[in-house]
Chains A and B, each alone.
Chain A
Amino acid sequence: MDAALIIGLVSIITAGFTVSIGGIGPALGEARAVAQALAAIAQQPDEAATLSRILFVGVAMIESTAIYCLVVSMILIFANPFWNYFVALAAR
C-alpha cells in the first residue's frame, strides 16, 4: 500500500471513531443537564427564564467537547494536511 492509501484509510476510520466516541460523553452530559433543568422548571415554573438561560449556556459549554471532535474529524476528512502533503509529493 502506498502512503496516500494508508493515510486515507486511517483518516476516515479515525474520523468515524472520533465523532462516535466523542459524541457519547456530551450526549450523556447534556441529557443529564436537560433532565435536571426540566425537573427544576417543574418545581419552580416562575424561574423558567433564568433556568433556561443557564441551561442554554451550560449545554453550549458541554457541547463544545463534541464540537471539538467534529472539527477534528472534518479536518481529517476534508482538509487533511498529511494527505495534501503526500498528494503534492506524488504529483512532483
Chain B
Amino acid sequence: MNISPDQTILLDLGMVKINATLVFTWLTIALLAGFGRWATRKLSTTGELPPWQNVLEVLVEGVQRQIGDIARQDPRPFLPFIATLFIFIAACNVLAVVPGYQPPTGSLSTTTALALCVFVAVPLHGIRRLGLRTYLKNYLEPTPLVLPLNIVGEAARTLALAMRLYGNVMSGAVVGAILLTVIPLFFPVLVHALGLLTGVVQAYIFAVLATVFLAAGAAAHDRNNGGPPAPTAPVSKSTAASPPAAGDDTHHN
C-alpha cells in the first residue's frame, strides 16, 4: 500500500522523476492562482461589491484579525506568509475528498518544505524587526547556558510541525483506504467527512503555530525590556489601530 504520494511516479525522465506529489502541488497552485486572478479581475471600491471580492475580503480580514489576536502585533507583515500557508494547506486537505486527488500534504516532503519555510521565515522576520544583534542575543536569554537548548528547540519544533501535518493527513488517507477494504459501504464517506474537518483544523493549527513562532521571534526585544504587559505596550499604537483599520484597508484597495 502507498502511504505517500511520493511513491506514485507518473513520469520518469531519467534524472528527474515527476511524482504525484509534484503534480498535485502544481495543480493546487494553479487552481488557487487561477481562482485568485479570476476573482480579482474587476475589483470595485464603490457601490455593489462583486460576490467573489466579498469572499476574498472576508478571508483576508479573518486571517488578519486572527493574526492580530494571536501575535498581539501589527498583523500586516505576517499576513502574506501566514495566509498563503493556511490557504494552500486548507485547499490541499479539502480537495482530498475529490476522487483521484492525492493531497500533497500527505507527503512528508511537502510538509517538510512548508515547515522549512517557517524555519527560515522566523529569523528573517526577527532580524528585520529587531536587527541582527538583538535577535541573536535572544538565543542567549536568560543565560548563555541555554543556547544549545534554544537551537535544538528551534529544530525540534520544525520537525514537529512537519510531522504533525503529515501524520494527520496521511493517517486520514490510510484509515479511509483500510476502511474501504473492511466496510466498503458507508463508513469511508463518514471518514472522509471527518477528514474535511480535521483537514481544515490542521491547516488552522499549522498557521497558528507559524504565527506564534514568528511573533515570538519578532517580539523578543519587547519581552526583554519589561514584564508581561510590555509586548503590547510598544506596538499598541499599531495593534490598537489595526482591527478597525483592517476593514477600511481592504475596501480601499
Binding site for B on A (CB under 8 A): 50, 53, 56-57, 60-61, 63-64, 67-68, 70-71, 74-75, 78-79
**A75 and B163 form a contact (CB under 8 A):** no
**B167 and A57 form a contact (CB under 8 A):** no
Q: Contact check: which of B1, B166, B204, B212 meets A71 at CB < 8 Å?
A: B166
Q: Contact check: which of B3, B69, B204, B212 meets A75 at CB < 8 Å?
A: B3
In the complex, whether B208 has a CB less than 8 A from a CB of chain A is yes
* Cα separation A79 to B70 with both chains bound (whole Å): 39
Known contacts A56-B205, A79-B3; A64 and B170 CB within 8 A of each other: no
Residues from chain B with a CB closer than 8 A to the CB of A75 are 3
In the complex, whether B164 has a CB less than 8 A from a CB of chain A is yes
Min CB–CB distance A15 → chain B (angstroms): 12
Residues from chain A with a CB closer than 8 A to the CB of B209 are 57, 60-61
Chain B interface size band reads 20 to 34
**B212 and A68 form a contact (CB under 8 A):** no
Q: Contact check: which of A53, A57, A71, A79 meets B163 at CB < 8 Å?
A: A71
Q: Interface code B134-169, partner A: CB below 8 Å = 1, 0 otherwise?
A: 000000000000000000000000001001101110
List B1-30 residues whose CB lies under 8 Å from chain A: 1, 3-4
Interface of B is mostly: helix
Residues from chain B with a CB closer than 8 A to the CB of A56 are 201, 204-205, 208
Known contacts A56-B204, A78-B174; A67 and B168 CB within 8 A of each other: yes
Residues from chain B with a CB closer than 8 A to the CB of A64 are 160, 163-164, 167
In the complex, whether B171 has a CB less than 8 A from a CB of chain A is yes
**B164 and A60 form a contact (CB under 8 A):** yes
**A67 and B164 form a contact (CB under 8 A):** yes
- Among B164, B202, B209, residue most surrounded by chain A Cβ atoms (within 10 Å): B164
**B167 and A68 form a contact (CB under 8 A):** yes
Residues from chain A with a CB closer than 8 A to the CB of B69 are 50, 53
- Among A53, A57, A60, A63, residue most surrounded by chain B Cβ atoms (within 10 Å): A60
